[in-house]
């Protein structure tokens, strides 16, 4: 029977989608089982800590993705403006042009925030810091860069909320375009 496909690493992307779609409380083990094709036994074999450990693994996975695809390019692309443009492109892609919600944002608003406070906080702090770094290299002074980066990271989260509330994904795309224009003006 056993020994089919799964490794822990194969399961995490599936879990990510499930948590992103249903939220932490909404992601029941039944739903997770259906979405991953794994029985409860396998799930608890990979994640002895249960749902809590699954969510932690998902947050770590998201963090890694943003570190590699957004924060590092923001910091390391020699032309800061290209790094910023890259951030907007990847952000649009990641959230499927506003059709997907930000799992970290969902966790931040829920009372599961306390449980995952460190991961939730560092996601936003790192993003804002990386963007501020790029803005500073683009010539902004430190205070302006920090304020602007917080505005932009916040506006992205807010646009996801509005796009979902209004059932209008285009609002997310339009907001991203205006934010980018503001930063690269």
Partner DNA sequence: GTCTATAGAGTGATAGAC
Partner DNA sequence: GTCTATCACTCTATAGAC
By CB under 8 A, is residue 55 in contact with a copy of itself?
Answer: no
- Pick 42 or 97: Cβ nearer DNA: 42
By CB under 8 A, is residue 161 in contact with a copy of itself?
Answer: yes
Number of H helices, E strands in the chain: 10, 0
Give the distance from CA 95 to its chain's centroid.
8
Nearest distance, CB of residue 109 and DNA, angstroms: 18
| Partner from a copy of itself, DNA, none binding residue 135, C-beta < 5-8 Å depending on class | none
**CA 168 to CA 99: how far, in whole Å?**
8
In this chain, which stretch among 3-11, 59-67, 81-89, 121-129 interacts with a copy of itself, using CB under 8 A?
121-129
Largest CA distance in the chain: 62
CA 70 vs CA 11, 29, 52, 83, 114: distances in Å:
23, 31, 26, 8, 25
Would you give the DSSP letter of residue 111? Answer: G
**CA 72 to CA 13: how far, in whole Å?**
21
In the list 6, 22, 51, 75, the residue contacting a copy of itself (rule: CB under 8 A) is 22
Which residues are near DNA by CB under 7 A?
1-7, 25, 27-31, 38-42, 44-46, 50-52
Which residues are near a copy of itself by CB under 8 A?
21-23, 25-26, 101, 104-106, 108-111, 113, 117, 120-121, 123-125, 147, 150-151, 153-162, 164-167, 171, 174-175, 178
């Amino acid at each position: 029977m056993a020994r089919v496909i799964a490794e822990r690493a194969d399961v995490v992307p599936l879990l990510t989608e499930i948590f992103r779609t249903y939220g932490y409380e909404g992601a029941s083990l039944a739903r997770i089982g259906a979405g991953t094709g794994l029985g409860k036994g396998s799930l608890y074999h990979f994640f002895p800590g249960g749902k809590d450990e699954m969510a932690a693994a998902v947050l770590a996975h998201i963090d890694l993705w943003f570190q590699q695809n957004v924060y590092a390019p923001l910091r390391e692309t020699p032309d800061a403006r290209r790094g910023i443009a890259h951030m907007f492109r990847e952000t649009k892609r990641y959230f499927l042009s506003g059709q997907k919600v930000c799992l970290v944002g969902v966790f931040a608003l829920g009372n599961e925030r306390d449980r995952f406070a460190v991961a939730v906080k560092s996601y936003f702090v790192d993003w804002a810091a990386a963007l501020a770094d790029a803005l500073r290299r683009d010539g902004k002074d430190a205070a302006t860069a920090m304020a602007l980066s917080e505005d932009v990271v916040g506006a992205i989260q807010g646009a996801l909320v509005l796009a979902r509330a209004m059932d209008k994904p285009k609002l997310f795309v339009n907001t991203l375009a205006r934010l980018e224009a503001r930063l690269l003006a």
